A and B are shown apart, each in its own frame.
Chain A
């Protein structure tokens, strides 16, 4: 509502201003023949043109990079975060599903026991019933201990990811991402990174190109943050449904379904480890590879000694460091890769 009021006021303001100018005496009457582009009107017009493009470049950068300081400061924390199965809302829903599933297990155990003890069937039937009884008992124990089992999964994943991340300094990655993408504020000094300079350059050439050069920022910053939250949400979902997955896995008819669900649970929880490995791999790349190996752009060490060099020296160097850029993209695509590779690993 507030925004609407603001914009309505804005619109009313402009219209009133227009009417005012329309009716204000002589302010619209431009003496004919008197007006040709004078130096100050052209410079004012030019000034508006430049000012608008600069404003567009800065505002679009700011908007697409909003949240980058949070992302870079907390990158390791974001990788390591997990929902807590032992407390709050999640526990409430796990309890709900356990309360639905446990009576069914009890019924199954009672019926199987009845069959084994009192109904003499064939030996193969009895053997099958014994295996079923074993599966049911194990399943019932697993379901009643779901919160602890899930806590175990998440703790193992957390410790593994933590151990991997502590092998190297995540600051290297965040530092080079910061150098690549720049900062978040209105201070122009924070926007002197290569991609930002490219974006500004391009916006002054043609503003429509500017739409496409601000997309990398948008996708990297917003996409990574959104992806971390999606993983959090999906892990919560599979945690909630864990009792049902174990229940479906215990019975022969529904074993495939249960297996799928358990696989998904484990994969989404252990995605943490995968992301930690990717971060460490990027950090190691950045340490070991010589400066400027995969950088492209003006001022790169391959250009030299020609006349263009003297001109290029005047422009800011638009060295585009590919490794952190691709690293960020891989962080967002990694989970899909993982889901594909580790399909069907449970018996």
Chain B
């Protein structure tokens, strides 16, 4: 796809140059000889301006699109399946994380031992009322159970990460990732051709769509990386969460930490589901009747009406040349929008689900 798109951009650039050149050939010839101040404004405005914009849009922006714009749609598989790991043999082994977690465990563990020892001491030697003994026994039970979970917390987190990874991998194995890639690319290239068309006349007109280009290129990355950072954060906080959850006074805070840990770890599964959904929504192409799925070409000739001629020629010859259609554009944009909407919805819905 990369070479095809490069070719498309290169040919578009050449054709656009030729097209505009025909219009101004005579006057350019005559004016190249002029050394008059008054002609400056016209020359820069109406001749140099479009040429510079063309070079900027097709060469600079085109190269940006081929590298940054296509990046997520080509590499989403590796990115979504990325998890931090405690296992030294895996490629995403994070020694700093391991040392932090082991530090927090080693720091808090003596506290547990102290608590258990003092409760046992109380029960054995300072036997008070039956009620007091009963409460102390319950506390002791809770402390021991909590201590077991606390010492196993890195393995628990690793187990959750592995479960999530396994589920995401199997979901992605069932989907047609090539189709998802095509739909995502349709969205961002659609926005690009709109920018190319409108921005050739004046860059300020294309501000809205240009912003959407950057949003589409970077937002999925931001969301997925946010999840990674949150996973690292909550991996560190998970042992503390267990400690807090076992004491009634701090139960709310502990529950929150545990919930967030599980939510962010299993967000991976939702990302894989989004890709599966995007691949499954290819049927949206058949919603509009054929003649209404109008094609917008990314080239912009100064002659009014020449764009239509160009589009019709390429449609007849069945060359998808530097063009986009309404369904590809909006479905692609909506697919990128899913990466923002779904995590947001999940954060709102999966609220307070632990007892």
Interface residues of A, Cβ cutoff 8 Å to B:
7-8, 11-12, 15, 18-19, 21-23, 28-30, 32, 35-37, 41
Contact = CB atoms under 8 A, between A and B. Distances in A.
Given A30-B38, A30-B39, A32-B36, A8 B26 contact: no
B30 A22 contact: yes
Contact of A11 (B26, B31, B37, B304): B304
Given A7-B304, A18-B27, A30-B36, 13 more contacts: A8-B304, A8-B305, A15-B23, A15-B302, A18-B23, A19-B26, A21-B27, A22-B26, A22-B27, A28-B27, A29-B30, A32-B35, A35-B38
A29 B31 CA distance: 8
B45 interface: no
Interface of B: 23, 26-27, 30-31, 34-39, 302-305
14 contacts: A15-B23, A15-B303, A18-B23, A18-B27, A19-B26, A21-B27, A22-B26, A28-B27, A28-B30, A29-B30, A30-B36, A32-B35, A35-B37, A36-B37
B304 A23 contact: no
Given A8-B304, A15-B23, A23-B26, A28 B37 contact: no
Contacts of B303: 11, 15
B304 A12 contact: yes
Contacts of B38: 30, 35, 37, 41
Contact of A30 (B27, B34, B302, B305): B34
Among A8, A18, A23, A41, the one with the most B-chain Cβ atoms within 10 Å of its Cβ is: A18
A21 B35 CA distance: 19
4 smallest CB-CB distances across A and B, nearest first, come from A11-B304, A22-B26, A22-B27, A8-B304
A23 B23 CA distance: 12
Contacts of A35: 36-38
A307 B337 CA distance: 60
B26 A37 contact: no
Contacts of A21: 27
A15 B302 CA distance: 9
A41 B39 CA distance: 12
A241 to B, nearest CB: 27
A164 to B, nearest CB: 42
A189 B328 CA distance: 51
Contacts of B27: 18, 21-22, 28
A35 B36 CA distance: 7
Contacts of A11: 303-304
A7 B30 CA distance: 29
Nearest to A9: B304
B37 A37 contact: yes
Nearest to B204: A208
A28 B43 CA distance: 13
B45 to A, nearest CB: 13
A185 B26 CA distance: 44
A23 B304 CA distance: 21
Nearest to A41: B38
Contacts of B31: 28
Contacts of B39: 30
Contact of A32 (B23, B30, B34, B305): B34
A15 B25 CA distance: 13
Nearest to A45: B38
B151 to A, nearest CB: 48
A11 B306 CA distance: 12
Contacts of B37: 35-37
Contacts of B26: 19, 22-23
A71 B58 CA distance: 48
A102 B302 CA distance: 64
B67 to A, nearest CB: 33
A205 B185 CA distance: 44
A23 B35 CA distance: 20
B20 to A, nearest CB: 12
B276 to A, nearest CB: 34
Contacts of A7: 304
A18 B302 CA distance: 12
Contacts of A37: 37-38
A28 B39 CA distance: 10
Contacts of B23: 15, 18
Nearest to B303: A15
